[in-house]
Amino acid sequence: MKNFADAESKLFPCLWDGTNSLITRSKFPQRSIFFLEVTYDGSIYNDLPVLVEEDSALKGNVNGLTVSPLKFDQLLDALKTRKAKVKKVRLAACKELIKDAKKLEADIKALGISAVELIKTEEPAGVTDN
């Protein structure tokens, strides 16, 4: 169990920093923009990708992050239903989406889920304001 806990603690930095450290000319400046992890106590749900929606007005047309591209209504409905099983929720966002992450954190806490962590992140080198 200790090895699993050690590996789990390294998951976020590997995903977030790993994406930011990719060296590729075709996708520059590829970077992490939003991280959401929901851990349940004794249950497994594999529906997180369908619970977070891309704003239909922006779908396929996002050229920057000046407008919030994600909608969390279905996620919040699911968490409300499952709140007794939610062990923890972890969030992280790039600077353009930090307000969205803070609002989502507050919305989740308003459901009665107190184990919500907003992870502080650093912007990767070379990222500039839009």
Residue 130: per-residue pLDDT: 46
| Predicted confidence (pLDDT) per residue in 93-122, tens digit | 988 899 999 999 999 999 999 999 999 887
Give pLDDT, residue 85.
95
Least confident interval from 30-34, 54-58, 73-77? 54-58
Cβ proximity of 67 and 37 under 8 Å:
no
Domain span at residue 109 reads 2-118
Instruction: Answer whether residue 91 is part of any domain.
Output: yes
Instruction: Report the domain count for the chain.
Output: 1
In this structure, is residue 130 part of a structural domain? no
Whether 82 shows a pLDDT value over 80: the answer reads: yes
Asked if residue 126 has pLDDT above 60, the reply is: no
Q: Is residue 123 part of a domain?
A: no
Q: Is residue 29 in some structural domain?
A: yes
Asked whether residue 75 is assigned to any structural domain, the reply reads: yes
Q: How far is CA 83 from CA 17, 70, 110, 118, in A?
A: 30, 22, 11, 18
| Residue 9 reports pLDDT greater than 70 | yes
- Residue 65 included in any domain: yes
Domain presence at residue 52? yes
Tokens of 68: 């919030």
